[in-house]
Amino acid sequence: MAIGAVIARIITQYSAKGSKAAQKDIAKLGKDFDKFAKRSALAFAAAGAAVGAFTVKVGTDAVRAAMEDQKSQVLLANSLRNTVGATDAAIAGTEDYITVLQKQVSVTDDELRPALSRLVAATGSIAGGQELLSTALNVSAASGADLATSVGAIIKASAGQFKALKTLVPGLSNVTIKSKNYGKALEEVNKQTAGAASKRAQTLEFRLKGLNIAYGEVLETLGYALLPVIEKFADIVTTKVLPQLEAWIAANKDKLAASLDTILTKLPALIIQVFDLFNYIQRNLGTIQVLGALLVSTFAAAKVYAGVIALSGAINVLTAAFGRQAAAATAAGTATAFATGGASALAAAAALTVFATASLVTYKQLTKNNKELTKTEKTTTAIAKDYGKVVGTTGKVLGNTTKLTAEQQKQLASQVALNKLKAMGVVPTSETNPIQLEAVRLNLLKEQNLAQQRMYDQLLANYNATERMNIAAQRYADILTVIADSKISEQEVNLLAAKWNLTNIEVLKYIASVTGNVNLGKGWDAAGYAAADGWKAALEELNKYLAAVGKGAFVAPQNIPGGGGGGMPPTTSDVVDKIVQDFTKAVETIPNPQTSLPGYGAYRESERTGMSSMLSNTALPGYRDYRAGERASSPNVNITVNGSVTSSNDLTETVRNGILAGQTSGRSITARVLDL
């Protein structure tokens, strides 16, 4: 938004964005209120306590003031009655006068009453007394003297003594004083001091006094209200408490007196004894000091003695060990111990004992070390001597190194080679030719490497065997799991094939080889596979034999016609039977040259009857020719089969096709011929 843009809000909506802050503010406000309330409560509590204390004080002051006022009133009333025979009404009127006057002139009634009482007595009338009281108040105000002094001066003046009044009122003429005219003097005094009391009452000081007086009146009023209570309390104490106390004292006064007598009797004796003790100490202070010093010194001496005794062994040990110097050091140590810790000399002795023991051990060790050092020194000396020789020899060697002959160089090389062999653990031989030695070394290295290689191969073979054992064990466990139900399903074969990384057929063969039960693979043509293997083996053996006898390889028939006739396709068993028959026939048709020799039957008979020693097949007529012919040529074996079987593969293919033709599972065989 541009700076200085004017925004006029038309639609206003509430936003809760600041509400949390507001809640905080409100919460804070609430807390502030709580604090204020607590503080206020405390303040009010303090104020209440203060008020309570103030109340107590006010009450106390009120009672005290009331008592004083009452006392003052009683005295005035008594004086008025005695001097002028004032009636109660006159006394009450006088009290009213006093009350009004104290407010006017700010002088307390406790001062006014005695003054009025004295003036009434001097004048013989209440009215005269009141008149003179006014004069006295003015004189007091004008002169600054207190009311009692003013009253006394006026009373003296009424008796003809004007000196005091002259002092307070200097303007009083000497003529009047000399004339001793009391009336005239009083007239002059009134003239000179008129209104002084009223004027003084207007000043701040006396206005404050007036307030104090008013407060005092209030207190007195309150006190008068409280007085009956106090009087009642006093009455109770007087009538109830004190009589009981008196009765108790009366009952126990003898015991109290006896106890007191005992105390007074014993106390002087005790005091005397204490006094005597202190006196004795005072008198024998010097003796006690000496005794104390003696005790202390004795105690210390004992410690020193014990310390010396305790240390003697250590000192002797140290002396013997370190000789004079060690003894001196020990003595110094002991002295130090006594000087610094004489009071703990025994402790020092113990410490020194420990030190001595440690020192002894150290000494022995040092002695031992010294012996070793001496021995070492001797050795070192000898070494030093030899070192000189070595240096000389070395120098010569160094000098001659540059002049090494070829032989020496050879020896050096031989030594180096021998050292290398030594490092390999080879016992040095008499061989000195470095080249040979190096060859030996290299050969050893090679052998080592070969040995290492063999070791690695062995390890690897071991590992492989272990691995194979593990695999075999795992496979065996798998087989046991699979054949638990005495059959193998397609899914199980697939799983095993995937797990073993083999083909399905390899799996079946493996299982058959392990379990020896080819029937497990029923439905999986395991029997057919086994038969095919058997045929392969038989064919191989046959061909080997045929080759040995100089015949050609067996040719298996193909597309064997069905033996059952009727145009039905041949079954697997028919085909196999046919092949077996042909094979057997072919084998049987092979003539045995030896058995066909003349006299062979007699030879066999003599063999059965134990006459073989007399006859021998080699002695048979024509045997030589037989052997010669055998060597010259092998008999031909002709195997005639229908079809065009020309090789083992053809044979296995034929077998496989036959099996396929005979298998009933309908499952396609994916294995190749070579797999069979």
- The nearer residue to another protein, 20 or 631, going by C-beta atoms, is 20
Structural tokens at position 636: 């031909």
Of 14, 389, 484, 632, the one binding another protein (CB under 8 A) is: 14
Q: CA 192, CA 139: separation in Å to the nearest integer?
A: 9
- The secondary structure element, H or E, covering residue 131 is helix 126-143
Per CB under 8 A, the segment of 13-21, 328-336, 547-555, 658-666 that binds another protein is: 13-21
Per CB under 8 A, the segment of 2-10, 83-91, 212-220, 280-288 that binds another protein is: 2-10
Of 4, 565, 566, 610, the one binding another protein (CB under 8 A) is: 4
- The nearer residue to another protein, 8 or 614, going by C-beta atoms, is 8
- The nearer residue to another protein, 18 or 567, going by C-beta atoms, is 18
- The nearer residue to another protein, 16 or 632, going by C-beta atoms, is 16
Closest separation in Å from C-beta 31 to another protein:
21
Q: CA 137, CA 119: separation in Å to the nearest integer?
A: 12
Closest separation in Å from C-beta 16 to another protein:
7
Of 16, 204, 264, 427, the one binding another protein (CB under 8 A) is: 16
Q: Are 527 and 518 in contact (CB under 8 A)?
A: yes
Closest separation in Å from C-beta 27 to another protein:
16
Q: Phi/psi zone of residue 568: left (φ > 0), alpha (ψ -120 to 50 degrees), beta?
A: beta
- The nearer residue to another protein, 28 or 499, going by C-beta atoms, is 28
Instruction: Draw the binding track, 395-424, toward another protein (x: CB under 8 A; -: no contact).
Output: ------------------------------
- The nearer residue to another protein, 15 or 613, going by C-beta atoms, is 15
Helix (H, G, I), strand (E, B) or coil at 205: helix
Structural tokens at position 446: 């090679």
- The nearer residue to another protein, 15 or 501, going by C-beta atoms, is 15
Query: Between residue 100 and residue 129, which ones bind another protein under the rule CB under 8 A?
Result: none
Closest separation in Å from C-beta 25 to another protein:
10
DSSP 517-571: -GGGGTTTTHHHHHHHHHHHHHHHHHHHHHHHTTPPPP----SPPPTT-TTPPPP
Closest separation in Å from C-beta 3 to another protein:
9
- The secondary structure element, H or E, covering residue 250 is helix 242-283
- The nearer residue to another protein, 4 or 516, going by C-beta atoms, is 4
Side-chain half-sphere CA neighbours of 396 within 13 A: 5
Structural tokens at position 664: 């009933």
Of 2, 339, 406, 427, the one binding another protein (CB under 8 A) is: 2
Query: Between residue 18 and residue 57, which ones bind another protein under the rule CB under 8 A?
Result: 18-19, 22
Closest separation in Å from C-beta 42 to another protein:
34
- The nearer residue to another protein, 13 or 613, going by C-beta atoms, is 13
**Nearest alpha carbon to residue 493 among 469, 525, 467:** 525
For CA atoms 6, 12, 13, 14, the dihedral sign is positive
Closest separation in Å from C-beta 29 to another protein:
15
Per CB under 8 A, the segment of 8-16, 45-53, 507-515, 619-627 that binds another protein is: 8-16
- From the CB of residue 558, how many other CB atoms can be counted at a distance below 10 Å? 16
Closest separation in Å from C-beta 53 to another protein:
49
Per CB under 8 A, the segment of 1-9, 147-155, 335-343, 580-588 that binds another protein is: 1-9
Total of residues contacting another protein (CB under 8 A): 19
Q: CA 311, CA 304: separation in Å to the nearest integer?
A: 10
- The nearer residue to another protein, 15 or 670, going by C-beta atoms, is 15
Side-chain half-sphere CA neighbours of 127 within 13 A: 0
- From the CB of residue 155, how many other CB atoms can be counted at a distance below 10 Å? 20
Q: CA 334, CA 312: separation in Å to the nearest integer?
A: 10
Residue 12 lies near another protein (rule: CB under 8 A)? yes
- From the CB of residue 103, how many other CB atoms can be counted at a distance below 10 Å? 15
Q: Are 162 and 179 in contact (CB under 8 A)?
A: no
Q: Which of the 8 DSSP states describes residue 486? A: S
**Nearest alpha carbon to residue 579 among 674, 653, 664:** 653
- The nearer residue to another protein, 11 or 339, going by C-beta atoms, is 11
Per CB under 8 A, the segment of 10-18, 331-339, 352-360, 648-656 that binds another protein is: 10-18
Which positions ≥6 away from 136 have C-beta within 8 Å?
Answer: 115, 119, 147, 150, 151, 154
- The nearer residue to another protein, 29 or 100, going by C-beta atoms, is 29
CA distances to 122, 189, 673 from 525, rounded to whole Å, are 168, 168, 14
Q: Are 349 and 306 in contact (CB under 8 A)?
A: yes
Q: CA 657, CA 555: separation in Å to the nearest integer?
A: 17
- The nearer residue to another protein, 25 or 235, going by C-beta atoms, is 25
Q: CA 297, CA 303: separation in Å to the nearest integer?
A: 10
Closest separation in Å from C-beta 26 to another protein:
12
- The nearer residue to another protein, 7 or 614, going by C-beta atoms, is 7
- The nearer residue to another protein, 22 or 329, going by C-beta atoms, is 22
Closest separation in Å from C-beta 34 to another protein:
25
Of 5, 264, 406, 427, the one binding another protein (CB under 8 A) is: 5
Closest separation in Å from C-beta 39 to another protein:
29
Closest separation in Å from C-beta 209 to another protein:
59
CA distances to 45, 164, 222, 228 from 58, rounded to whole Å, are 19, 40, 9, 16
Of 8, 250, 398, 632, the one binding another protein (CB under 8 A) is: 8
Closest separation in Å from C-beta 24 to another protein:
13
Instruction: Draw the binding track, 589-608, toward another protein (x: CB under 8 A; -: no contact).
Output: --------------------
Q: CA 577, CA 617: separation in Å to the nearest integer?
A: 37
- The secondary structure element, H or E, covering residue 252 is helix 242-283
Closest separation in Å from C-beta 23 to another protein:
11
Closest separation in Å from C-beta 20 to another protein:
10
- The nearer residue to another protein, 10 or 384, going by C-beta atoms, is 10
Per CB under 8 A, the segment of 9-17, 142-150, 310-318, 588-596 that binds another protein is: 9-17
The separation between CA 533 and the C-alpha centre of its own chain, rounded to angstroms, equals 78
Looking at residue 639, its amino acid is I
- What is the greatest pairwise CA distance in the chain? 225
Per CB under 8 A, the segment of 7-15, 424-432, 548-556, 562-570 that binds another protein is: 7-15
- The nearer residue to another protein, 14 or 269, going by C-beta atoms, is 14
Q: Are 359 and 315 in contact (CB under 8 A)?
A: no
Per CB under 8 A, the segment of 14-22, 201-209, 316-324, 638-646 that binds another protein is: 14-22
**Nearest alpha carbon to residue 135 among 105, 108, 179:** 105
Per CB under 8 A, the segment of 12-20, 154-162, 374-382, 432-440 that binds another protein is: 12-20
Q: CA 650, CA 664: separation in Å to the nearest integer?
A: 23
| 488-494 CB contacts, 8 Å cutoff, 24+ apart | 488/520, 488/521, 488/524, 490/524, 490/667, 493/524
- Give the residues lining the site for another protein (CB under 8 A): 1-2, 4-19, 22
